[in-house]
Amino acid sequence: MRLFLDTANIEHIRHGVRLGVISGVTTNPSLISREGKVDYQKLVKEICDIVPGPVSTEVLSQDASGMINEARQVAKWADNIVVKIPANLEGVEATSVLSKEGIKVNFTLCFSLNQALLGVAAGASFVSPFVGRLDDIGEDGMKVVEDIVKFLRFYQLPTQVIAASIRHPQHCMVAAKVGAHIATVPYKVLLQMIQHPLTDIGVKRFIDDWTRVMKD
Ligand code: G3P
């Protein structure tokens, strides 16, 4: 399973890339707005320069023709742009047109296998089930990820599943177990993934033992 960062924060993206474990970035209008009143195009282009892989950014239009026009413009910003299109009827139509033009689509805000089926049929390169938001309403978000992965495997389809709306390290482990191609994680979760108290205790004990005997 590959890891993407789910953020528009340049410092966090630079750190993730420097660690050598981040191969893509996903953004959305909420994440972009967290960075303040920025020049949207400039920020996304900067992210695309830093990241050695796909960078998803979302359209704001609500109707298919608006989504298509917006996506065509955004797709010109960089070679690694992926356009996020919402998993509704207008989005299905837009995805069908854009995928035929070779524009990569991340079919986002996906909450069911049926929505994913339509996104895949329309030619989306990625589908993004939102795990945390399903868990929030008492559903099993990871089961939806698992179902989509099984469906894609069964029919040997090339669309990749991005487990999104990841809230904690447990989500990452389960996403890997159910076979998600990618988990897109907030920076905070990336930092939490490496934490283990026994590692810290072990490092300290090694240094203490070494120092006690070797210090003179
Ligand atoms: O990748 C989707 C993500 O940004 C949504 O996360 O925590 O707002 O549900 P969240």
Q: pLDDT tens digits, residue range 139-148?
A: 999 999 999 9
pLDDT of res. 162: 98
Whether 6 is in the pocket of ligand 1, judged by its Cβ within 6 Å, is yes
Strand partners, 163: 183
The C-alpha angle 40, 161, 131, rounded to 5 degrees, equals 80
**In ligand 1, which atom is closest to the CA atom of 133?**
9
Domain count, the chain: 1
Q: Is the dihedral of CA 82, 77, 60, 68 positive or negative?
A: negative
**For residue 99, pLDDT beyond 90:** yes
In this predicted structure, the answer to whether residue 177 has a pLDDT above a threshold of 90 is yes
CA 173 to chain CA centroid, Å, is 15
Which spans in the chain are helix H? 10-19, 29-33, 40-50, 64-74, 89-100, 113-121, 131-136, 141-154, 169-177, 187-193, 197-214
CATH code of the domain covering residue 100: 3.20.20.70
The model's confidence at residue 215, banded by pLDDT at 50, 70 and 90, is confident
**pTM recorded for the entire structure:** 0.96
User: For ligand 1, atom 7, which residue shows the shortest CA distance?
Assistant: 165
Structural domain span for residue 31 = 2-215
Q: Whose CA is nearest to atom 9 of ligand 1?
A: 165
Q: How far is CA 53 from CA 25, 105, 209, in A?
A: 8, 14, 43
